[in-house]
Amino acid sequence: MPQRLEHIDAIARKLNRDVLYFEFLQAQRPHCADYRTLEIRSRIVQWLDSEHIEWRECGQLASETVIRSYAGEIYINVPFDEADGQYRKVQAFLEYPDGTIRFDDVRFYVVTLQVAMTNAHHDEPGFWDRWADNF
């Protein structure tokens, strides 16, 4: 059944803050049958659930020139703030002390509100309907 996902930049604008999300590079490759079969994605989701960290599926940064299928991206509801205990917990799980990622094929991103605001016009009523009509 189709579902509508929010783009990560729309989430940042709605929350009026920087936001964090994951991309899974294996899911973006042609030979990957289904992002739900990725062991690392399942492991991360299980860890987030066990730590009671709110997460949800999201789309990549919205683009008016590129259409992508969903590849397992996940928004996590943790502020990008090194003083925040939940952020430090996520960071320790995902990164080595030198800041490199522990897991191959996983990218951990912050989308700043400043970057998200470059797409603020997407929030205008009917924007995506008009875009689709002209596609």
Average pLDDT over all residues of the chain: 90
List, for residues 66-94, the tens digit of each pLDDT value. Answer: 888 888 999 999 999 999 999 999 999 99
Distance CA 28, CA 103 (A): 16
pLDDT at position 123 = 87
Residue 3 lies in a domain: no
Q: Which residue type, as a one-letter code, is found at position 69?
A: S
Residue 84 lies in a domain: yes
Rounded mean pLDDT of 62-68? 86
Residue 1 lies in a domain: no
By residue range, what is the domain housing residue 120? Answer: 8-133
The residue among 53, 96, 97 whose CA lies nearest residue 78 is 53
Query: Is pLDDT above 60 for 1?
Result: no
List, for residues 3-29, the tens digit of each pLDDT value. Answer: 778 999 999 999 999 999 999 987 565
Count of structural domains within the chain: 1
